[in-house]
């Protein structure tokens, strides 16, 4: 299946015309991810891996459990405080 067909069917988020623009797009996404809290990135990965093998309800319950367990972590608390100042 060609990239344009995948895009029309919403099987991918973006289609690139060539390899160089694909690599540039990947680096852009990686840069955005690298700028985020390591706790948030790892927590998202763990939740995605759990949720793919469980029901929506179980996945949401797991997210709640994860949130409760990491809410006292320093960078999560600092992030919440900085957002309140904006």
- Predicted local confidence at residue 14, as pLDDT: 86
Range of the domain at 58: 37-85
Same domain, yes or no: 30 and 61: no
Is 46 in contact with 66 (CB distance < 8 Å)? yes
Angle between helices 74-85 and 38-51 (to 10 degrees): 110
Same domain, yes or no: 76 and 50: yes
Average pLDDT over every residue of 57-76:
80
Q: What is the pLDDT of residues 25-54, one digit of tens each?
A: 999 989 988 888 888 888 889 999 999 999
Q: What CATH number does residue 42 fall under?
A: 1.10.12.10
If 0-12 CB within 10 Å is exposed, 13-18 middle and 19+ buried, where does residue 51 land?
middle
Residue predicted with more confidence, 57 or 33: 57
Residue predicted with more confidence, 14 or 75: 14
């Amino acid at each position: 299946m060609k990239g344009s067909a995948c895009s029309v069917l919403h099987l991918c988020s973006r289609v690139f015309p060539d390899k160089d623009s694909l690599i540039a797009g990947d680096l852009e996404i990686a840069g955005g991810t690298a700028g985020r809290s390591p706790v948030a990135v790892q927590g998202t990965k763990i939740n995605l891996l759990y949720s793919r093998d469980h029901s929506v309800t179980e996945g949401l319950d797991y997210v709640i459990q994860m949130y409760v367990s990491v809410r006292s972590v320093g960078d999560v608390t600092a992030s919440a405080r900085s957002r309140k100042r904006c």
